[in-house]
Amino acid sequence: MRPIIIASAMLAVLVPAACSKKAPAEKAAAQAPVTQVSAEGDFAASLQLALIEAKPGDTILMPEGTFAFTTGVSLDVDDVVLSGAGQNKTILDFSGQTGAGEGLLVTSDDVTLTDFSIRDTKGDGIKSKGADRITYQYLTVEWTGGPLATNGAYGVYPVESEDVLVQNVTVRGASDAGIYVGQSKNIIVRNSIAEFNVAGIEIENSSNADVHGNIARDNAGGILIFDLPDLPVIGGHSTRVFDNQIVHNNTPNFAPVGNIVAGVPTGTGLIVMANRDVYVFDNTFEDNDTVHVFLTAYNLPFEDERYNPLPRDITLRGNTYTGGLANPQGFVAPIAAALGGQFPAIVTDGVTRWSGGGDVELNIDIDEAEDVGFVSLGLGEYPLDPANLAPSFERPSGGKETEPSPIVLPQDPQPE
């Protein structure tokens, strides 16, 4: 336990310093490993000041209470812990926000965010960009008005980062993805709850991710493993999705039109789109009304020559599937109707080529219990043409011999 030294920057400002050319707080904060942000006065300003004046190695402690913010706060100092008094004890309330694109923005490395809540941001909840070795833990990010298109897009939003750890967070109400990891590599998302978002958890244009032990429930779509064209980082690969409960993702899709997730059919458990080396095992799929697992190509036109729109090298094994499937929705609903009214548990679109190219071997391996239903729609290519529908119930088998290794992160020491 490190000693707690109160570095009261606000107090220091009151000390007359007519001859000082340095900002007084600069001196007060020297060698202060722990800064307690006072609940008195303008908390938002005090917190922002503490985050600006933090030194590498510092811990910033926020007290219990609900604190109003009118603009975003940000951290740009490496190796800082920002901690509250508990997930539902320290609440940063952005319902009166009039400035900035997110609630909390982190742009430095080796940061840990822990034990607080962020509420009702106008844009994203917590964003970290270019923030390597970041840890998000014991956090709640939520929009308290329920699932609304006017909610912010992402709850927890690390992007363009290496070594990302998200654990024991709860995200509720995001109008895009609750937990979204984009254009990053080496990622763990575990033991978290994502509910009442459009997408519960989304790993996009990223590589080497373990998504496990999470509960994704009551979203429009539970978990998405996506790759999109025309972004600086493309070619997502090597994701393991295991031991998750992906349940009752039937909340009507409330994403604003124009966003990619607005196309996610309500009632979907897991979608793998345009990604490779994805291993889905030991998950529980339950009561997802459209389809439990959907493997699909990217279905919009694109010009990015680097991009492969197909899902390939995908393995599904040892998952359990119960209930749901009775009410197919979204753009796939007419296809379900053509199949007799509903989908089996696992659907692949059967798209194997794009832009006039030849057929590609997808190497999809469906290694599930015999009673788990499967169909390939056999569409061949996009754009979607119902005339191309050529359903096949024969399970593909294949898969690669070696699965990706478990992700190990430097900020997450392994037990001896």
Least distance in angstroms from the C-beta of 205 to another protein: 9
Q: Pick one of 4, 6, 17, 338: the residue that binds another protein (CB under 8 A).
A: 17
Q: Pick one of 7, 34, 37, 49: the residue that binds another protein (CB under 8 A).
A: 49
Residue with tokens 């469906």: 366
Q: What is the pattern of x (binds another protein, CB under 8 A) and - over residues 143-162? A: ------xxxxxx--x-xx--
Q: Which stretch binds another protein (CB under 8 A): 133-141, 206-214, 257-265, 404-412?
A: 257-265
Residue with tokens 């940061």: 111
**Contacts of another protein in 341-370 (CB under 8 A):** none
Least distance in angstroms from the C-beta of 121 to another protein: 7
Least distance in angstroms from the C-beta of 149 to another protein: 6
Contact flag: residue 55 with another protein (CB under 8 A): no
CA distances from 241 to 20, 259, 318, 413 (A): 57, 24, 12, 21
Contact flag: residue 100 with another protein (CB under 8 A): yes
Q: Which stretch binds another protein (CB under 8 A): 258-266, 275-283, 385-393, 395-403?
A: 258-266
Q: Pick one of 66, 70, 322, 405: the residue that binds another protein (CB under 8 A).
A: 70
Query: Residue 92 and residue 74: Cα distance in Å, rounded?
Result: 13
Least distance in angstroms from the C-beta of 46 to another protein: 8
Contact flag: residue 387 with another protein (CB under 8 A): no
Contact flag: residue 97 with another protein (CB under 8 A): yes
Contact flag: residue 225 with another protein (CB under 8 A): no
**Contacts of another protein in 279-318 (CB under 8 A):** 300, 303-304
Residue nearer to another protein on the CB measure, 159 or 165:
159
Residue nearer to another protein on the CB measure, 252 or 406:
252
Residue with tokens 């992007």: 159
Contact flag: residue 107 with another protein (CB under 8 A): yes
Residues that bind another protein (CB under 8 A): 17-26, 45, 48-49, 51-53, 70-72, 74-76, 97-101, 105, 107, 121-124, 129-130, 149-154, 157, 159-160, 175-176, 180, 182-183, 228, 230-233, 256-260, 300, 303-304
